[in-house]
Amino acid sequence: MPHRFPWWRLSLLSIGGSLLFGVGLPVVLEEVLGDRTGSTVQQNCQAASSTDFLVAGGGGAPSYNEIALEKNVLYFQRTLQAMGFNPSAAEVYFANGTNGQATIRYMDEQGQIQFKVPDIPNLTGASTFNNLRSWVAERAEAGSTRPIFFYFTGHGLRNEQDLNNNAIALWGNQQVSVQQLAQVFDTLPPETPVVAMMAQCYSGSFANLMYEGGKPFNRVASQNRCGFFATIRTLPSVGCTPEVNEADYEDYSSSFFAGLSGISRTGERVSSADYNRDGHVVYAEAHAFAKVDEETTDLPISTSEVWLQEQAAIATQDAILNQPMQATLETARPEQRYVVEALAQSFGFDLNRSFIENQTDLQSRVAMGEVPLTYLERIRMELINIGMEAQVRTSGDEEAIAILDRLLNCENGYWQ
Task: Examine residue 391 and state whether it is found in any structural domain, yes or no.
Answer: no
Across 62-81, average pLDDT: 98
- Across the range 7-28, mean pLDDT stands at 34
- Structural domain boundaries, residue 182: 41-270
Average pLDDT score over residue span 75-97: 98
The predicted-structure confidence for 290-324, as pLDDT tens digits, reads as follows 999 999 999 999 999 999 999 999 999 999 999 99
Q: What is the pLDDT of residue 102?
A: 99
For residue 260, give the 3-state DSSP assignment: helix
- Write the single-letter amino acid at 253: S
Burial code (b: 16+ CB inside 10 Å, e: under 16) for 286-322 equals: bbbbbbbbbebbbbbbbbbbbbbbbbbeeebbeebbe
Instruction: pLDDT band for 48, please (50, 70, 90 cuts).
Output: low
Q: Is residue 115 part of a domain?
A: yes
pLDDT over threshold 70, residue 378: yes
> Per the domain annotation, does 185 fall within a domain?
yes
Residue 82 placed within a domain? yes
Amino acid in the structure at residue 301: I
Over pLDDT 70: what percentage of the chain? 88
Kindly indicate the confidence band of residue 407, based on its pLDDT and cuts at 50, 70 and 90: very high
Q: Where are the alpha helices (DSSP H) in 330-397?
A: 334-347, 355-365, 370-393
d(CA 25, CA 19): 17
Q: Is the pLDDT of residue 178 over 60?
A: yes
Does residue 119 sit within a domain? yes
Instruction: Evaluate if residue 109 carries a pLDDT over 90.
Output: yes
pLDDT at 215 over 70: yes
pLDDT digits over 324-342, tens only?
Answer: 999 999 999 999 999 999 9
- Average pLDDT across the chain, whole number: 90
Domain CATH code at residue 256: 3.40.50
Using alpha carbons, list the distances in angstroms from residue 308 to 359, 386, 391, 409, 412. Answer: 23, 9, 10, 15, 16
What is the C-alpha to C-alpha distance for residues 226 and 303, in angstroms, rounded to an integer?
6
Largest CA distance in the chain: 63
* 359: confidence class by pLDDT, cuts 50, 70, 90: very high
Q: Is residue 332 part of a domain?
A: no
For residue 367, the model assigns a pLDDT of 85
The predicted pLDDT at position 53 comes to 99
Q: Is the pLDDT of residue 39 over 90?
A: no
Helix axes of 283-293 and 398-411: crossing angle, nearest 10 degrees: 80
Residue 11 pLDDT exceeds 60: no
- Mean pLDDT along residues 182-210: 98
Of residues 334 and 33, the one with the higher pLDDT is 334
**What are the tens digits of pLDDT across the range 224-254?**
999 999 999 999 999 889 998 888 898 999 9
Grade residue 46 by pLDDT with cuts at 50, 70 and 90: low
How many residues in total does the chain contain? 416
The pLDDT of 156-184, averaged and rounded, is: 98
Residue 63 domain flag: yes
The reply to whether 283 falls in a domain is no
Confirm if 167 and 269 have CB atoms less than 8 A apart. Answer: no
Number of domains in the chain: 1
Alpha-helical (H) ranges within 278-324 are 283-293, 303-310, 314-322
